[in-house]
Chains A and B, each alone.
Chain A
Amino acid sequence: MLRYTLQRIIYMLITLFIIATLTFFLMKLLPGSPLKSQDKLTPEQITIINEKYGLNDPLPVQYVNYLGNLAQGDLGLSFQYDNRPVTEMIAGRIGPSAQLGLQALILGSIVGLILGIIAAIKHNTFFDYGATFLAVIGISIPSFVFAGFMQFVLGVKLQLLPVALWEGFSYTIMPTLALSGFVIANISRFMRTELLEVMASDYIMLAKAKGISQSGIIIKHAIRNALIPVITIIGPLAVNIMTGSLVIERIFAIPGLGEQFVKSISMNDYTVIMGTTIFYSALFIFIIFVVDILYGIVDPRIRLAGGRK
């Protein structure tokens, strides 16, 4: 297990280093300079600004400085927002995004698990077909379409919920639902398959032969074992919620990290784009890492084998 964890940490660091390097050089490749929009600057001003951002140094020096700063958690200064540190800008925006993401993940997991369990227990009945149908719909309808549909029906037509903005719990309902649709669909589908597989295994038959009641078997033996593989898809789903929030935050005008990222793209605020990209990537990689390690802890077969096949 220790060896596996170490191996994963090394991979994680390599990936992060590659992302940081790639981001840096891609940003240098970008056409135009951040100062281009302000053509009125005198040459002296440009020199001063270039000096401040370290743009006069040769590229390798800039690269090393950049990596050094990065290691200390310094992501540079924003080009557009009056020299505010990017780290500070990210920190100020993380709240709504984190709340939205966690709400969607928790809601999606709970509803998805319940749907999946019902579908598996009532295999080949109306409930099963209903849940399977819902899952296909949930996977197919993009979150932004779902968001638009809710805004139109619940917000504009029925006026039940606020259409946009971020001023209280009622404002979080629609974006949370929009983000959790995909999670519900995936978890219910996965849980159904896993539970059906477990129910067909020998130890369940043994439990039945011993005379344990159906509900006892399902709660004590089947669900607990079926839950283990479901952990693996939590990581990718969390990543999906985070990328989905880029669009959802824009649609609902939520002052989160995703909304800021999209804005920085349209404003060519390169340091913010770069910083947010690295922050997102690090978070993605970290979530996947935690989920993998968790999986190793929960499932002894993997712990003993010393790594996933």
Chain B
Amino acid sequence: MYDLAVIGGGPAGLAAAYSAYEKGLRNIVILERDKELGGILNQCIHNGFGLHRFKEELSGPEYAHRYIEMVQDTSVEVKLDTMVIEITPDKKIFINSPKGYECIEAKSIVLSMGCRERTRGAISIPGTRPSGVFTAGAAQRYLNMEGLMAGKRVVILGSGDIGLIMARRMTLEGAKVLACVEVMPYSGGLTRNIVQCLNDFDIPLYLSHTVTDIRGDKRLEGLTVMKVDENRRPIPGTEMEFECDTLLLSVGLIPENELTRGAGIEMDPRTNGAYVFENMETSIEGVFACGNVVHVHDLVDFVSDESARAGAAAADYVQNGAVKGDVIRLQNGADVGYTVPQKIHRDTAAEKIDIFFRVRSVFGKSQVIVSSGDTEIQVFKRPYMAPGEMQHIVIAADKLKGFDTITVTAKEA
């Protein structure tokens, strides 16, 4: 019987395992389906990681390596090439690896399976179905892990960060990136990536545009891009034709929660992740979740922080038992898409509570208001907010003591 089983050895799992070890747990196992630790960071060879966490600029593999080294110096056991097939509500874990198919048990579990990319099907792009349509992450894997090019004349749909990073990467590898096309009137990625990955390479960004047709019987031959109206419907007469052999999709990420659902854990339809408390506990006592499996983050640094909280909470659960007591529920106010956490242990939460959320539209000078009923609890000022950038506020637990529900609202100042 393990004290803690961590599902997934990417940045979330590594930080959770290390944190639980630091808090005194010794019998910890990381279950990783790939042949090495590090998760998706291994294919993110660009820089920009670690500015918050390590106060220096690292590449993805370097960032992962820091944590891998930290974990290697502990008693944490790592099972690679091992896929979790099923988790039961009583914390039995069925694992499959070339070494065998078996059931292991753990007193606590951290879910850190990450997320997957949305596909062509998820956005129903019409047309033919040739090869040459990739998710940006798949093209990134081919290029950075396997040394193979997805194509030479490229259009990118979606301005999420992976798509922007791949626009630069493919250009540096000699491909011609013709355009980055975004259906929303604003970019879905970080501003720094728009500047460094598109503007610096003169790659045009078409906001409020989308791909409306795909052509080619075998390999992709071309596609049509059209401007869309405020309801995201294509406007006739705005067709632009691109001859290209590759379409990369960067149209969003979805937390990978098949195991979570299978275990019967309560899910939040807004995040597509589990409902979590401020200590990242799910609806099953002793099962915690962190990182992109809970909600999709922009920066790995925040994944590490969140996961350290989950690991520490798992250690606390094993050492001191379940956290009981009253619960404060968080609600989305106007223009807030979701919050994490969705629930707070009123009596036992740490002194300061981190609340993450995303806004639904672009804001200039604005306010984030935490309130309960008619009572305004705290107001935070922000110079700018956009859906592509995760928002973060820290509120003192003291201020929430008297309330059952609190609401987070965004509004223009």
Do these two chains really belong together in a complex?
no
